[in-house]
Amino acid sequence: MGMDKHRWSGRNSLKDSLRHEIWRKLESSGTSIDDPWSKIPNFKGAQEAALRLSRLDFWRDARVVKSNPDSAQAWIRLYALQAGKKVFTPVPELTQDFPFLLLDPEILISRGIAFEKVMYSDGAMLHGQRVDFKQMDPMDICVVGSVAASLDGGRIGKGGGFADLEMGIFRSVGTLSDKCPIVTTISEIQVVENEKIALEAHDMPLDWIITPERTIETQSELLKPGPIDWTSMQEDQFLNIPFLRKLQKELASN
3-state secondary structure of 87: strand
C-alpha distance across the termini of the chain, in Å = 44
CA–CA dist 73, 90 (Å, integer) = 13
What is the pLDDT of the chain when averaged over all its residues? 87
Structural domains of the chain, ranges and CATH numbers in brackets? 39-254 (3.40.50.10420)
User: Would you say residue 207 has pLDDT above 60?
Assistant: yes
Share of the chain above pLDDT 70, in %: 79
pLDDT of residue 172: 81
70 and 42 Cβ atoms separated by less than 8 Å: yes
* Mean pLDDT within 88-106: 79
Least confident of 1-15, 200-214, 240-254: 1-15
pLDDT of residue 235: 66
Read off φ and ψ for residue 124, nearest 5 degrees. Answer: -65, -40
87 and 109 Cβ atoms separated by less than 8 Å: no
What tens digit of pLDDT does each residue of 139-161 get?
999 999 999 999 999 999 987 66
pLDDT of residue 230: 67
pLDDT of residue 99: 78
Q: Are strands 191-192 and 148-150 parallel, antiparallel or unpaired?
A: parallel
* Mean pLDDT within 78-105: 85
For the chain, strand residue ranges (E) read: 32-33, 42-43, 64-67, 86-90, 100-103, 129-131, 141-143, 148-150, 155-156, 182-185, 191-192, 208-210, 215-217
User: Would you say residue 231 has pLDDT above 90?
Assistant: no
pLDDT of residue 169: 81
- The residue among 160 and 183 whose pLDDT is bigger is 183
pLDDT of residue 3: 38
111 and 90 Cβ atoms separated by less than 8 Å: no
167 and 157 Cβ atoms separated by less than 8 Å: no
Name the pLDDT band for 252 (thresholds 50, 70, 90). Answer: low
CA–CA dist 37, 128 (Å, integer) = 27
Which pTM value belongs to this model?
0.86
CA–CA dist 203, 206 (Å, integer) = 10
What tens digit of pLDDT does each residue of 4-59 get?
565 545 466 788 999 999 999 999 999 999 999 999 999 999 999 999 999 999 99
pLDDT of residue 1: 39
